[in-house]
Amino acid sequence: MIRPARTTAYSFLFIIGLFLSGCNNPKTTNKKVLDEHDVEFLMGGFAKNGIDSLYIVKMEDSIRKGVYPNIHSVLIMKNGELVYEKYFKGRDELWGDDLGIVNHHKDSIRDIRSVSKSIVAACIGIALKQGKIDSLSQSIFDFYPEYKQYDTDLRSQITVEDLLTMTSGMEWNESVPYSDPRNSEIQMTASKDPIEFILSRPMDTVPGTVWEYNGGTTQLLASIIEKTSGKTIHEFAKEYLFTPLGIENSTWTYFPDLDLPAAASGLRLKSRDLLKFGMLYSNDGVWKDQQLLPFEWIKKSKEPRVWFGRNNNVGYGYQFWIFKANTINPSQNHLIPAAVGNGGQRIYIDEKNNLIIVVTAGNYNNWTLKKDSDALIMDFIYPSLSK
């Protein structure tokens, strides 16, 4: 178990601000010789899948020159085929601890930060399918009789679905820097009992009505998994999600001095594992003819339950961000679900374009960076698609 010195969770202000205002050289990608790991994916070519390789060449050159700094990996799947996979050297961290310069490769595991939230949500979907959770409309206090003193007034109305959509109504502040003691994520991490800390929060709004970025809701979801299954979130994920997906190497960072996984940001996986997760959600919860997640769950996860931001162009599903495609390309009018993590971790699931994009990076807590993972996707990958 990993017990780092400090935490750097993901701040929602960065995403709102942004959206409101290996293989060889790309030219020879299609000639890559498959090794034993590549059988997991169908390999495809740029031209066959309607991708202009000149944009990909420019993208890679810009990454290497540092124009788009500290990008660690880029994977592009189009029409079910892996057409691009490249890894880059760069500075990295383990939940806030500096790892120095890391030579990233396809077998490297790395912090995925708040992409962990989407994984936790998937585990809730599996627990619901297994009957461990009766329904998403259940009161969260059904799972916490030991904290019944907090089951009062508006708190009594908080449901599992409110946790999934971050509409709990709790007073919670992750809008200040994570170095600020007023930050609720930092307060939760420093508390002796993170679960009690969350459940005891004062209420600001009626549950289910107002969105507020809240890593505590994810921690409660993971706790509900443990309450109902007897397994930690990592044990549950490994048995019912990772093993079926062929994900063999994972770690989950623990809170300092507590035997408790940091559910909202602590998971470490390979970039290819993130691609598999995106494929699962793109394929209606089916993996190798096995329905790992219910179809209806997948559908609801990728639908905006709430809208916010300028002109309501950012939405949130079940621990997934939902972006309007016209934010990227004015001619597009569909929705793009995305799993998002601090530092530049991204899984874009664009079903209309039959496209999954994975980007990882080490730009943690850099909220002012312009040439980031999202800019890379907007400036090169989407323009590369044939009109």
**What residue numbers bound the domain in which 22 lies?**
12-110+268-384
Domain annotation covers residue 81: yes
Return the pLDDT at 347. Answer: 98
In the three-class reduction of DSSP (H, G, I as helix; E, B as strand; rest coil), residue 179 is classed as coil
Q: Is 145 exposed, middle or buried (0-12, 13-18, 19+ CB in 10 A)?
A: exposed
138, part of any domain: no
Residue 180 lies in a domain: no
Strands 345-350 and 355-361: antiparallel
Partner residues linked to 352 by β-bridges:
none
Specify whether the CB–CB gap between 264 and 320 falls below 8 A: no
The pLDDT score that the predictor gives to residue 147 is 98
pLDDT at 179: 80
Mean pLDDT by 10 residues, the chain (387 residues): 38 41 38 44 96 98 98 98 98 97 98 98 98 98 98 98 98 90 94 97 97 97 98 98 98 95 98 98 97 97 90 91 87 93 97 97 95 97 88
237 domain-assigned = no
- Domain assignment present for 102: yes
Beta bridge partners of 2: 253
Kindly state whether residue 206 falls inside one of the protein's structural domains.
no
How many separate domains does the chain show? 1
The sign of the torsion formed by the CA atoms of 239, 240, 241, 244 equals: positive
State residue 356's pLDDT score: 98
pTM value? Answer: 0.90
Q: Is residue 128 domain-resident?
A: no
Inside any domain, residue 131: no
Read off the CATH number of the domain in which 51 is found.
3.40.710
Name 348's Cβ contacts closer than 8 Å, sequence gap at least 6: 278, 336, 338, 355, 356, 357, 358, 377
